[in-house]
C-alpha cells in the first residue's frame, strides 16, 4: 500500500485516477479547489477510509506525508482556462513549484500531467516527444500552453538540480464519463448537442484532425509511467494515434445517438491547432502501453453517461 496525493483529484481525469488507486488498495489524498472539479465525481469514494478529500488550491503550499504525487491540478478546457488566464498560468507554474517542493522534501515520485498543447499548432506530424512545438507565447491559449511548457521546464530543472524523482506525460485529447457537459471540449460538446437534438457546432471547415483517447486508456498509461524505474523520466506521449477529422467525429456522434441534429459551421477560433496526432512509439517501448478502447466503443460509454444529464 502506498500513500498517494492527487492534485486536481476531483476533476474529470483525477477522479478516474483516484478510483483506480483506491481499487488497487492505496491510501489516496484528493486535493482540489473545485473550480472545475466536482464532489459528484468522487462521491462514491467518500465513505472509503483509505480516501481523504482536501479543499486546497495548489498555488499555495501544501504538506502531507506521501510516497507519490500525481500533479493534475489545472483547468484543461479553453472555456475554463481562458476565464481567468492569470490564475491558469499560476496554477501550472506555482502548482508545479509547490508540488515539486513537497516531492523533494519527501523523496517522493511525482508525475506531471502535461499536455499535447505543448506542441501548439504543430508543423511536425505526427508529434514525437523530441519536437519542440509551434506555440504562440502571447495568444489567448498561451496561459495554458505556455504554463504547461514552463511546468515541464521546472520538473526537469528540479530533477537535474535537486535530484527530484520526476515523471512527465503529455496527454492527448481524452474523453469519457465525468466530463463536464458544457466544458467546451469537442467530444462532450457534440454528444450533448446530439442528445438534445440541437445543432452540432463545428468551428472551421471540420477538416482539422484530432486523435481521441478514452479515459481508461489514459489512466492505465499514467499508472504504468509512475511505476517505471527512476532513470526514465519522460516526457512520453499518452494518446490514441487513430486520427479523425472533426467532421467525421460529428457524423459518428449523430449516428450513434440516432439524433436529428444538423451540422453547422462557425469561424475557427484563433490559435486552434489544425492537426494533433501522437507518435506513441516511446510509450510502447518504455511502458508496454497502447490504447485498447477505440472511438465508437468509447463514444457509446460517453453517450450512456450523458443521457441523464445532457438536456
Q: What is the CATH number of the domain that holds 59?
A: 3.40.50.720
Domain-located, residue 272: no
pTM to 2 decimals?
0.94
Q: Of 37, 16, 11, 17, nearest to 225 (Cα)?
A: 17
Burial of 113 (0-12, 13-18, 19+ CB in 10 A): buried
CA distance 127 to 201: 27
Q: What angle do CA 259, 239, 254 make, to 5 degrees?
A: 5
Name residue, grid cell 488550491: 57
Tell me the per-residue pLDDT of 199-254, one tens digit each, with 9 for 90 and over.
Answer: 999 988 888 888 999 999 999 999 999 999 999 999 999 999 999 999 999 999 99
Mean pLDDT value of segment 266-272: 74
In a domain, 307, yes or no: no
- Number of structural domains (the chain) is 1
Looking at the domain assignment, is residue 270 inside a domain? Answer: no
Find the domain containing 288 and state its range: 3-175+214-240+278-292
Residue 192 lies in a domain: no
For residue 193, give the DSSP letter: H
Is there a domain that residue 309 lies in? Answer: no
Residue 189 counted as domain residue = no
Residue 144 falls in the annotated catalytic set: yes
CB of 221 within 8 A of CB of 155? no
Catalytic residue among 70, 119, 144, 158: 144
In this structure, are residues 26 and 51 in contact, taking their beta carbons and an 8 Å threshold?
no
Residues 189-214: tens digit of each pLDDT: 999 999 999 999 998 888 888 899 99
Amino acid at each position: 500500500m502506498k500513500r498517494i496525493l492527487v492534485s486536481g483529484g476531483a476533476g474529470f481525469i483525477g477522479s478516474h485516477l483516484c478510483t483506480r488507486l483506491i481499487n488497487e488498495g492505496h491510501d489516496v489524498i484528493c486535493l482540489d479547489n473545485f473550480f472545475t472539479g466536482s464532489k459528484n465525481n468522487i462521491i462514491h469514494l467518500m465513505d472509503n477510509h483509505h480516501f481523504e478529500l482536501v479543499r486546497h488550491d495548489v498555488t499555495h503550499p501544501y504538506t502531507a506525508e506521501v510516497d507519490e504525487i500525481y500533479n493534475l491540478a489545472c483547468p484543461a478546457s479553453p472555456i475554463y482556462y481562458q476565464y481567468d488566464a492569470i490564475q491558469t498560468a499560476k496554477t501550472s507554474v506555482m502548482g508545479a513549484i509547490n508540488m515539486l517542493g513537497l516531492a523533494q522534501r519527501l523523496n517522493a515520485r511525482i508525475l506531471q500531467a502535461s499536455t499535447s498543447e505543448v506542441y501548439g499548432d504543430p508543423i511536425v506530424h505526427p508529434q514525437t516527444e523530441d519536437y519542440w512545438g509551434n506555440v504562440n507565447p502571447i495568444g489567448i491559449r498561451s496561459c495554458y500552453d505556455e504554463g504547461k511548457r514552463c511546468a515541464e521546464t521546472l520538473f526537469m530543472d528540479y530533477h537535474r538540480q535537486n535530484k527530484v524523482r520526476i515523471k512527465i506525460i503529455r496527454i492527448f485529447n481524452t474523453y469519457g464519463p465525468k466530463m463536464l457537459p458544457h466544458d467546451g471540449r469537442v467530444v462532450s460538446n457534440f454528444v450533448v448537442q446530439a442528445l438534445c437534438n440541437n445543432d452540432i457546432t463545428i468551428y472551421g471547415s471540420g477538416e482539422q484532425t484530432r486523435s481521441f483517447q478514452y479515459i481508461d486508456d489514459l489512466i492505465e498509461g499514467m499508472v504504468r509511467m509512475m511505476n517505471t524505474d527512476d532513470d526514465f523520466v519522460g516526457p512520453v506521449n499518452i494518446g490514441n494515434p487513430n486520427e479523425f477529422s472533426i467532421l467525421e467525429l460529428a457524423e459518428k456522434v449523430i449516428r450513434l445517438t440516432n439524433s436529428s441534429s444538423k451540422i453547422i459551421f462557425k469561424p475557427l477560433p484563433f490559435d486552434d491547432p489544425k492537426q494533433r496526432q501522437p507518435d506513441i512509439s516511446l510509450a510502447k517501448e518504455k511502458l508496454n502501453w497502447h490504447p485498447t478502447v477505440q472511438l465508437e466503443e468509447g463514444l457509446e460509454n460517453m453517450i450512456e453517461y450523458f443521457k441523464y444529464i445532457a438536456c
